[in-house]
Structure 1
Amino acid sequence: MRQMLFGLAAAVAALTGTCAAWGQEAAKRGEYLVSIMDCGGCHTPGIFLGKPDMERFLGGSEVGFQIPGLGIFYPPNLTPDPETGLGQWSEADIIRAVRNGVRPDGRQLAPVMPYQSYSKLTDADAKALAGYLRSLKPVKNQVPAITGASEKPTAPYLAVVMP
């Protein structure tokens, strides 16, 4: 009996170590994906003003994108802050938004978000990405609200101007 318990304990320890190693590997993969997908290139405060605030990495942008006929959209906070970020979103919610461009409330994301390209993520990569975002330090940062096409903006935005 003692040998059996020792063997069971050894198996549990080995499995726990394997799970921990897999978790670390997934976190590294998620961080890598955030880097090559350039999430910080839109979702980091100050990025469009030439002064990225890396203390609030992925905390959302104060500068939006104007999409003619639709309005102005501000890249949201991707950190797990429960009030201003993804803290209330599940892993499945994050994956659905990244792959399909649909928020948990059913709203379609702005077309400037390249979810069409990200729809090709493997299941493992999508989970690694979501897990990494959920592991970040929460940043409390409320980005400006979406401004409709006929509304007056209250925050800066980027626009394409035809000559």
Structure 2
Amino acid sequence: MIGRALRPVLLSCILLSTTGAALAQDRPNPDKVARGAYLVGILGCGDCHTAGAMAGRPDTARLLGGSDVGWQVPGLGTFVGPNLTPDRDTGLGAWTDAEIVKALRTGVRPDGRQLAPVMPYMGYSRMTDTDAGAIIAYLRSLTPVSGTVPGPFGPSEKPTLPYFALTIPGK
């Protein structure tokens, strides 16, 4: 009799303990997120991926939500720093951790396209797994920002936003 009466309590305890463990795994490690925020800051990611940053007035409400200024590379076109927030439609929310690491280290997007050469992925090619994981934890902790950036624009297309033009000496 007592066994039957305790069954629902026991079942509830098991259910709550496993749910609690799953929820704890979903919560990012605060130290890892802080390390990621530090790395994103010193790497200057916000300079190219936050609207207003190039003018010295970053839009902190749209932090890493995509730039409003492009980079024109001779012979390649004009590129705009995209949304790095966890928005599933316009940011990195649908990318896996492995896809983000591959883009950071090799400059290759999940769809196989090469990132613009102004993205310093070659400098990140030897980034440790620990640092890459911290950056990902930080990016995933951000408030998702919905919004696409214009472009990329091919070499013969006229950009629809301000841009910096890189020049090659002697050309």
Q: For this structure pair, what is the TM-score category when the shorter chain's length is used for normalisation?
A: 0.7 to 0.9
Which moves more between the two structures, 149-158 or 88-97?
A: 149-158
Cα distance in structure 1, aligned partners of 2:69 and 2:143: 22
For the residue of structure 2 that corresponds to 1:117, the secondary structure is helix
Residue 145 of structure 1, CA deviation: 1.6
Cα distance in structure 2, aligned partners of 1:57 and 1:41: 10
Partner of 1:83: 89
- Alignment deviations for residues 1-57 of structure 1 (CA, whole Å, 9 cap, x no partner): xxxxxxxxxxx9xxx7xx899822211111111111111111101112332111111
2:74 equivalent to 1:40: no
For the residue of structure 1 that corresponds to 2:29, the secondary structure is helix
Distance 1:21 1:135, change over 3 A: closer
Paired AA for residue 27 in structure 1: V
2:156 equivalent to 1:150: yes
- Alignment deviations for residues 80-106 of structure 1 (CA, whole Å, 9 cap, x no partner): 111111111111111111111010001
Amino-acid identity (%): 56
Partner of 2:118: 112
2:112 equivalent to 1:131: no
- Alignment deviations for residues 94-143 of structure 1 (CA, whole Å, 9 cap, x no partner): 11111110100010101100001111211111111112111110011211
Cα distance in structure 1, aligned partners of 2:44 and 2:30: 21
Superposition CA RMSD, Å: 2.2
**1:91·1:131 contact (CA, 8 Å) conserved in 2?**
no
Cα distance in structure 1, aligned partners of 2:119 and 2:88: 22
Distance 1:88 1:20, change over 3 A: closer
For the residue of structure 1 that corresponds to 2:71, the secondary structure is strand
Cα distance in structure 1, aligned partners of 2:123 and 2:94: 25
For the residue of structure 2 that corresponds to 1:129, the secondary structure is helix
Distance 1:25 1:136, change over 3 A: same
Gaps of 5+ in 2: 1-16
**1:66·1:159 contact (CA, 8 Å) conserved in 2?**
yes
Cα distance in structure 1, aligned partners of 2:155 and 2:120: 21
Cα distance in structure 1, aligned partners of 2:106 and 2:161: 28
The 5 Å alignment of 1:60-75 reads: 60-75=66-81
**2:69·2:162 contact (CA, 8 Å) conserved in 1?**
yes
Number of residue pairs matched? 148
For the residue of structure 2 that corresponds to 1:31, the secondary structure is helix
TM-score calculated relative to the size of structure 2:
0.79
Which structure has the bigger radius of gyration?
A: 2
For the residue of structure 1 that corresponds to 2:156, the secondary structure is coil
Paired AA for residue 140 in structure 1: S
Partner of 1:7: none
